[in-house]
Amino acid sequence: MPIKVFIPTPLRPFTEKRDTVEAEGATVGEVLQDLLRKHSQLQPHLYSENGAMRSYVNIYVNDEDIRYLSKEKTPVKSSDTVSIIPSIAGGVDVAVETDIQLSKEELLRYSRHLLIPEVGLTGQKKLKAAKVLVIGAGGLGSPVSMYLAAAGVGTIGIVDFDVVDATNLQRQILHSTNDVGRSKLESARETLKGINPNVVIKTHEERLSSENALELFAGYDVIVDGTDNFPTRYLVNDACVLLNKPYVYGSILRFDGQVSVFDARRGPCYRCLYPTPPPPGLVPSCAEGGVLGVLPGIIGTLQALEAIKLILGEGEPLVGKLVLFDALKFSFRELKLRRDPNCPVCGDNPTIHELIDYDQFCGVKPPTVEETIDEETEITVEQLKARLDRGDDLFILDVREPHEYEIANIGAPLIPLGELPKRFREIDSSKEIIIHCKSGRRSALAADFLRKNGFKSVKNLVGGIDAWSERIDPNVPHY
Ligand SMILES: [Zn+2]
């Protein structure tokens, strides 16, 4: 009973250029064995020396990945089609040019890699030929780029447009104390070149956007996201899906981390996992919620590991899996992710064919509109200072947490955002109310809440106590 086997383009040289071949068998394993009897040159592409199926080859029966069926024991009938989906069509296709050579110094430097059969000379040349783009030279971008540079990834691109801030040093190990005030990219280049002068560091000093993402990503084999905001995350995902690039995802907050590899050609994408972003303000950023300094080290190192595995084509990448790390419990959990056939970008009938406005999609104001404030609902620190100096009778409310209040405060009564629903009656509703938090996000939520509960005059202090410390009173500690 012949079964149709679909052969992908890169493997057709081994099947006399045929795109479908018939093979006999009652299970996927038997069909593949028959296929190899007829086309023995396929053998090394499908199986390793020890007879195990290559982890970068996926086999589908009709629409189903056999990993979710009975693997090689999956039964087949004559109406079925077996498809071979190798990583060349679904993973990283690093073009190792034949003239890639390692110098004597490099052979010595990478000696501990060369000793591992899974890397060896071939793998080390693949690493040298590979181009990885790291988005953000911050907490995650630091260990990612440092380990990639040390491992000998030939070209590392970094996108960032920030300068090093004193609050970065607790976790962003690319930068040191002397770098405060300096461009993160300059500082990163110096650190990475110090680790390995053989690697090419390409710096892209710009804000990643729908306008530049596709062009930027096109020059790289793997995209590693080290940012902590939702617009960038959806942007990176969609650009990777549209360009068929693997996206190594990592995220961190407080004591929790997540890692995955999204590759829409052989698994789900980020939108399959989270079709829509949380409403703005619901999930705090690291700047708002804090992050344990060592956590990005752990998660970023795992991202570097996945990027290296993708380049080498070794092992099982975290495609279709989401790893959750809880640092307080020291627990790793692994969740299975499924591709969503209704996903708007990688599904069967995608509705997104080009990059969209991600700030709008995530309900976030783009950072440039900070100066234009809504006079009805917002107030700047300068305006507040002028009104206080004038002696206006205002009720200023702080909605941060007590441990933040302890670090710095401007003498305003404290009701943490979470306690507001049961304590808002403590607020004098006859006065004009100005609410502040650290950066203005939590206070915006608090202001909305009070308005919904009948408070007439409520304004959010744009930029929060951060802006107050920066622009009005430097004696208020910045944290
Ligand atoms: Zn998807």
User: 150: how many CB neighbours lie within 10 A of its CB?
Assistant: 15
What's the pLDDT at 219? 92
Instruction: Please report which helix (H) or strand (E) contains residue 105, including its range.
Output: helix 104-109
Planar angle of CA 435, 440, 441, nearest 5 degrees: 110
Sheet (strand 20-24) strand order: 20-24, 2-6, 81-86, 57-61, 64-65
Catalytic residue among 272, 346, 362, 437: 437
- Tens digits of pLDDT across the chain (479 residues): 789 998 876 677 788 878 789 999 999 999 999 999 999 888 887 887 778 887 667 788 887 878 788 989 999 999 999 988 765 433 455 555 557 899 999 999 999 999 998 899 999 999 999 999 999 999 999 999 999 999 999 999 999 999 999 999 999 999 999 999 999 999 999 999 999 999 999 999 999 999 999 999 999 999 999 988 888 999 999 999 999 999 999 998 888 889 999 999 889 999 988 888 776 666 666 666 788 999 999 999 999 999 999 999 888 999 999 998 999 989 898 888 889 899 999 999 999 999 988 888 887 765 544 457 788 899 999 999 999 999 999 999 999 999 999 999 999 999 999 899 999 989 988 889 999 999 998 999 999 999 988 888 999 999 999 999 989 998 999 88
Residue with tokens 């199986």: 47
Separation of CA 264 and ligand 1 centre (Å): 7
What's the pLDDT at 19? 79
Distance of alpha carbon 449 from alpha carbon 417, whole angstroms: 10
Instruction: Please report which helix (H) or strand (E) contains residue 65, including its range.
Output: strand 64-65
Q: How many CA atoms does the CB half-sphere of 105 hold within 13 Å?
A: 5
Contact 267, 249 (CB under 8 A): no
Instruction: Please report which helix (H) or strand (E) contains residue 461, including its range.
Output: strand 458-461
Separation of CA 267 and ligand 1 centre (Å): 8
Q: What backbone phi and psi angles, to 5 degrees, belong to 263?
A: -145, 100
Separation of CA 334 and ligand 1 centre (Å): 19
Separation of CA 216 and ligand 1 centre (Å): 21
Distance of alpha carbon 352 from alpha carbon 416, whole angstroms: 40
Distance of alpha carbon 466 from alpha carbon 233, whole angstroms: 25
Separation of CA 475 and ligand 1 centre (Å): 49
CA proximity to 34, closest of 76, 91, 85: 76
Share in percent of the chain as helix, strand, coil (round to 5): 40, 20, 45
Cα of 433 vs its chain's centroid, Å: 39
3-state secondary structure 120-144: HHHHHHHHHHCEEEEECCCCCHHHH
The amino acid present at 359, given as its one-letter code, is D
Question: Positive or negative CA dihedral for 34, 35, 40, 42?
Answer: negative
Separation of CA 437 and ligand 1 centre (Å): 36
Separation of CA 444 and ligand 1 centre (Å): 32
What's the pLDDT at 12? 75
Contact 162, 206 (CB under 8 A): no
Cα of 249 vs its chain's centroid, Å: 3
Separation of CA 221 and ligand 1 centre (Å): 20
Q: Which two tokens stand for residue 246?
A: 């693997």
Separation of CA 180 and ligand 1 centre (Å): 39
Distance of alpha carbon 185 from alpha carbon 205, whole angstroms: 7
Separation of CA 354 and ligand 1 centre (Å): 14
Distance of alpha carbon 94 from alpha carbon 124, whole angstroms: 12
The amino acid present at 342, given as its one-letter code, is N
Q: Strands 20-24 and 2-6, how do they pair?
A: antiparallel
Residue with tokens 């999609």: 361
Contacting residues for 271 by C-beta, under 8 A, at least 6 apart: 234, 237, 238, 340, 343, 344, 345, 346
CA proximity to 420, closest of 438, 384, 445, 439: 445
Separation of CA 98 and ligand 1 centre (Å): 36
Catalytic residue among 269, 272, 286, 343: 286
Residue 437 catalytic?
yes
